[in-house]
Amino acid sequence: FTSSKTVSKAFKCATCDYGTNHKYSFKQHLLIHKGFKDLKCGECDYETNNKGHFNQHLLRHKFSKDFKCAGCDYETNYRSNFKQHLLIHKVSKDLKCVDCDYETNYKSSFKQHLLTHKVPKDFKCPDCDYKTNNKNYFKRHLLTHKASKDFKCADCNYETNNKRYLKRHLLKHKRSKDLKCSDCDYGTNNKQHIKQHLLKHKVSKDFKCGTCDYGTNNKQLFKQHLLKHKVSKDIKCDNCDYETNHKNLLKQHLLKHKPSKDFKCADCDYETNIKGSFSQHILIHKVSK
């Protein structure tokens, strides 16, 4: 039971009714009321006084950008910011291309652009018709044809030479697999992948059941299956006609024949020797109370 009386706080905010006993939390709170924000995002209009929040926000802009400026190396994911940026290049362009309407104030960007009009391309791909005068672009393109991929997915046949792409791909594979193979321990969440995988088991089965049409290439699973058809049971109960091939199941069964019961219910005449069954029974009385 807690008193409704307000506990006195060591640190109280003069701007609002916030109060706390923690100095750090109080300092953190005061930043909310600070009019001028120290940390401003260069990509969007986000601003804050909290360094942790700011770093977290910047991660959103760190991946590949949707909008890239042709006039300089500026790039962003926000269309409005991109339009705003383009105005910088719109005034008067000192460098104009004679082959097209491209113009810029950046000498390096202009040189880069002129290469696109250069008729003979210095770098030609031996595997396809791709060609370029940009060495870096060419190197990046060649990776698409690289036979051996450095990063391979353990759950499917996806492979890449880009570590970041692999990490992003792995998120598709949840830890708990909804679709599991009955012949081996393979599991996946992709319906197409499980169909593809099952074909591996469909060709010829090394282990076939003589009693039914079950077949598998997994020896352990086959042994387990055969127990279902075993007519002669190795372990039999002396008190009744119960029989099984599992020793632990017989032990469980024998408790039923034990005269004195170890577990007796205080609310009714129920009694048993099985602790699990007793715990389950007790719940019946707990609900009705």
**Mean pLDDT of all residues in 84-90:** 75
Nearest to 44 by CA among 24, 29, 65, 13: 65
For the cut 70, the answer to whether the pLDDT of residue 4 exceeds it is no
Say how far apart CA 24 and CA 15 lie, in whole Å.
Answer: 17
The pLDDT of residue 284 is 76
For the cut 70, the answer to whether the pLDDT of residue 289 exceeds it is no
| Whole-prediction pTM | 0.19
Convert the pLDDT of each residue in 200-255 to its tens digit.
766 667 787 766 777 777 788 888 887 777 666 778 888 787 777 778 878 878 87
Say how far apart CA 111 and CA 247 lie, in whole Å.
Answer: 82
Q: Where are the beta strands (DSSP E) in 164-265?
A: 179-180, 187-188, 207-208, 215-216, 235-236, 243-244, 263-264
Residue pair 177/189 in contact by the 8 Å Cβ criterion = yes
For the cut 60, the answer to whether the pLDDT of residue 84 exceeds it is yes
Domains and CATH numbers, the chain: 64-145 (3.30.160.60), 235-288 (3.30.160.60)
Q: Where are the beta strands (DSSP E) in the chain?
A: 11-12, 19-20, 39-40, 47-48, 67-68, 75-76, 95-96, 103-104, 123-124, 131-132, 151-152, 159-160, 179-180, 187-188, 207-208, 215-216, 235-236, 243-244, 263-264, 271-272
Convert the pLDDT of each residue in 15-60 to its tens digit.
678 889 888 888 888 777 766 677 888 777 777 777 877 887 877 7
The pLDDT of residue 1 is 46
